[in-house]
Amino acid sequence: MNPCYIGKFPRQHFGKKTTLITVLLKFILKVNLQSNGSSDSYQQRLSRLEGHKESLILQVSVLTDQVEAQGVKISDLETSLVEHQRKLNSTEEMLQQELLHRTSLENQKLSLMGEVSYLKLKLADMEGKQGNGTERQHKAEGLLKELRILKDKVEHLENQKLQYEKKLKATKVKKKKKENNLSGSFSFGHSWLQAADPDGGQFRRGGLRATAGPRLTRTPEAYDPSSDMNIPFSQWTKEQICGWLEDYGLGQYVSLSRQWVENGQMLLSATPQDFEKEMGMKNPLHRKKLQLALRAFTTKTVEKSAELDHIWVTRWLDDIGLPQYKDQFHEARVDGRMIQYLTVNDLLTLKVTSQLHHLSIKCAIHVLHANKFNPHCLRRRPGEEKQPTPSEVVQWSNHRVMEWLRAVDLAEYAPNLRGSGVHGGLIILEPRFSSETLALLLNIPPQKTLLRRHLATAFSSLVGPQATQEKREYGNATGHIPLTTTAKVKPKKLGFTQFSHLRKRKPDDSADYICPIDTGALTVNGISRLPSAALRGLSPSLVRQAEKQEQPGIKAETNGHKQ
């Protein structure tokens, strides 16, 4: 038997192996005695076998010691393995806590960044007002100096008047002829005095200026918004127009407007090219803002959206989850009236190129239309509802969706929705927005199938069974293009045939509006949605029958586009 192979047996069997070796040696001896007829004696053979036996016993002893040493090492390694396993578990727990802590810090950091951005906007707005106030103060000081000069002149005229009155009293005792002469002189002087004092009385403050040239700035008396609304815009004066431009957020164009505009009618008849040339209005969205306001004056229409200023719009971008565009919207002075007339090219001018963000703004405007541009229509905090309906979910802000993710045990992925443009209106109104789209935005790895399945179940419960079925049917339709997070929107290009009619017709952007208005139906991603359904909650399930009736036309259009 090979000694190396002996070392692989457990040590408790070594005693039995020694006996077995002895038996084998005796058996070999017996066989040799029977088969071999040589001249070797029995004692010589026995002594050789005994020598082999002792050698084998010695080898077994050495191997036994080695096995015992290896057993001790194995025991030490097992103890060390248990200790390392305990340390590894402890390290994993610490790493998990660190990840949770880091996620919380990231969430706080994003919130603080949003607050800082909003404060920067307010600071810039206040600095602009402060700069305008400083300019007004300088101009007011110049006007005050002129008023002081005018006061000195009036006092000088009053002294001359007193001297004439004394001379008149002194000449009353003279002859009638001299009185007539003096009366004529006094009449001349009195008529001259009635020209700085038109009412014939003493000097009153607040009268007309005696200095020549236009005013350098408007005074509080010169511009009264309430009094301006009582007269047509075409009859507004230069000072009223400049004051209105400043209050409307276009104060940077006041100086050039004062040099060009004479009255309101001149501004109403001006073209966008005139705004750019005469007023220096290079920003196309500033021109659009001014045109929309002038159109409202002309048509005398009162729009609820006009009550929402550009500061509210920056907060609205936070609510729909697109705070990264606040600087561009603030610089363009986009207000509530401009929101409902935004086009695709307008958003591209504002550097909004993501297709998903276009859809987010589109659905958010749809929600504003349905709520008649109520500035407080979006819900930012969880309410008391246990199972919200789709008509309630459609009014959820981006922060409210993040709160829902925390409620369904996905808190670690909630911060990924910051800046994604996901809000309740997008979830309910966009038929291509599914749980797979939400999983991509949350950065949930595809290999985490259980987590994605949990998200899909929670998403279906949120939007309701009918909306879930409709999203599934829309996704399975012929020619369906899935919604991705990386798709970009390209500007609309004019065809060759459209150039020939470009001069013959006026530009009409109504077909390019992000969210069309004043039409028979509101179109969301190619599907016609009736306005009445929007007023009933904007849920796709409310217009399911209408969409099914229009489905053949939609399929034909989709197939034609595919071909």
Q: Walk along the chain (563 residues) and give the pLDDT tens digit of each residue.
A: 444 444 444 455 445 556 667 777 777 666 666 655 555 688 888 888 888 888 899 999 999 999 999 999 999 999 999 999 999 999 999 998 888 888 888 888 888 888 888 888 888 888 877 777 777 777 777 777 777 777 777 777 777 777 777 777 777 656 555 545 444 443 433 443 343 733 333 433 333 333 333 333 333 333 444 455 568 888 899 999 999 999 888 989 999 999 999 998 999 999 999 999 999 999 999 999 999 999 998 888 888 999 999 999 999 999 999 999 999 999 999 999 999 899 999 999 999 999 999 999 999 999 999 999 999 999 988 877 778 899 999 999 999 999 999 999 999 999 999 999 999 999 999 999 999 999 999 999 999 999 999 999 999 999 988 888 888 888 888 888 888 889 999 887 655 444 444 444 444 555 578 887 644 444 433 333 433 333 333 433 333 433 443 443 333 333 333 33
Tell me the whole-structure pTM to 2 decimals: 0.55
> Looking at the chain, which residues constitute the CATH 1.10.150.50 domain(s)?
233-301, 307-476
Q: Are 389 and 381 in contact (CB under 8 A)?
A: no
CATH number of 233-301: 1.10.150.50
Report in angstroms the alpha-carbon separations of 19 from 14, 460, 462, 513.
9, 76, 79, 101
Q: Which residues touch 42 (CB under 8 Å, ≥6 apart)?
A: 33
- Compute the Cα dihedral for 531, 535, 539, 542 and give only its sign: negative
CA distances 535 to 278, 369, 427, 434, 514, Å, are: 44, 8, 17, 23, 18
Token digits of residue 6: 């002996």
**Residue 2 amino acid letter:** N
221 in Cβ contact with 240 (< 8 Å): no
End-to-end distance of the chain based on CA atoms, in angstroms? Answer: 83
336 contacts 309 by C-beta, under 8 angstroms? yes
Q: How far apart are CA 134 and CA 128, in angstroms?
A: 10
Q: How many CB atoms lie within 10 A of CB 139?
A: 15
Query: Shortest CA distance to 332 belongs to which of 246, 419, 249, 242?
Result: 249
| CATH code given to domain 307-476 | 1.10.150.50
Residue 313 belongs to what H/E stretch? helix 310-319
